[in-house]
Amino acid sequence: MQAEAIDISFKTELLSLYQQMYLIREFEERSGEMYTRGHIRGFLHLYSGQEAIAVGAISTLEDRDYVVTHYRDHGHALARGMDPKHAMAELFGKATGSSKGKGGSMHLFQASRNFYGGHAIVAGHLPLAAGLALAARYKNTGGVALVFLGDGSVNEGEFHETMNLAAVWNLPLVFLLENNLYGMGTAVGRAHARGGDFDMAGAPYGIACAVVDGMDVLAVREVARAAIEKTRAGNGPAYIEAKTFRFRGHSLADPVNYRSHEEEMEWRKKDPISLLGDRLLQQDLTTELELLEIRETQDDVVREAIRFAEESPEPTEDELFTDIYA
């Protein structure tokens, strides 16, 4: 009886991971369409292909923990529980958006869920995460900070400064590097002294390092959970490299002429959503019908988010001058 109960809760958890990853994929692909139709402007960076990382890692966090991320941030916001309606409305620049239309795609925030961005200067957000980790420890909340960064961050000074500071101050901070192999259009190996070998990037600072298959949500979850437990226990910062691939261009303005179609097709075979779906089917934890129902429900959620964003009002003129100071 007990074993069965555990199974049911485990199954619910796995299906929740599937549902979250699919929601993000659908959100991203429909956002791309909305961009093409001119409803979304500015830059739009899609997370398609990398869903397992945000979903796997954030699923191990508690409410008191902090999440900070880079500008490819829709997936992290949704995984942290942002209402897709508010996220989509922000992409549309509407008054009902998470930042009232003042931040846009690259700057999603939800303070009530300890989700502090959405930052668009490469590696610029790492010190912020260190400060949140410091606050958590100073106030003895037992919380930790999880910061997502791209491969390009490794070549920024703020990466090294923050790693060093986090180690010197023994902060409860997990660095999760999403290595999608290209910093915009530059292959990682062309811009990094060790040819894009990031697996030991925390080692010079005495920070424990781990590498994980970023297409496998269960693997990400396991590695993230270990790192978060370690840092929560007071053992200092941790670093994880997740190997992944973005299925789309850097942004929707990117013609993607710096990498081959074949490379993309190889990675698409490792699609994190079908990888998990297939595994659940093989283990008889779900059925095709159940997965289909999940996908259709999430399609509706995204459709509803788009409808909400379309029907929402533009910010009023006076909003230009609010939120600069308290």
> How would you label 122-151 residue by residue, b for 16+ Cβ within 10 Å and e otherwise?
bbebbbbbbbbbbebbeeeeebbbbbbbbb
* Residue 46 contacts residue 246 (beta carbons within 8 Å): yes
End-to-end CA distance of the chain: 55
Region from 125-133, 220-228, 234-242, 281-289 binding another protein, contact rule CB under 8 A: 125-133
Does the protein bind another protein through residue 138 (CB under 8 A)?
yes
Where in the chain does DSSP place strands (E)? Answer: 66-69, 115-118, 145-150, 173-179, 182-183, 186-187, 208-213, 238-243
| Contacts (CB under 8 A) with another protein, residues 53-92 | 66
CA-based radius of gyration for the chain: 19
Q: Does 133 bind another protein (CB under 8 A)?
A: yes
Query: Does the footprint of another protein cover residue 139 (CB under 8 A)?
Result: yes
Single residue of 110, 153, 244, 312 touching another protein by CB under 8 A: 110
Identified binder of another protein from the candidate list 80, 125, 192, 250, rule CB under 8 A: 125
Go through the chain and tell me how many residues it has.
326
For residue 228, the minimal CB distance to another protein (Å) is 17
Sign of CA dihedral 274, 145, 175, 228: negative
Contact window for another protein (CB under 8 A) among 12-20, 29-37, 153-161, 302-310: 153-161
Beta carbon of residue 89, minimum distance to another protein (angstroms, whole number): 11
CB of 196 to another protein, least distance (A): 24
If binding is defined by CB under 8 A, does position 99 make contact with another protein? yes
**Sign, Cα dihedral of 270, 280, 289, 295:** negative
Q: How far is the CB of 197 from another protein (least distance, A)?
A: 24
Q: Residues interacting with another protein, by CB under 8 A?
A: 66, 97-103, 107, 109-112, 116-119, 121, 124-136, 138-139, 145, 157-158, 161-162, 164-165, 168-169, 322-326
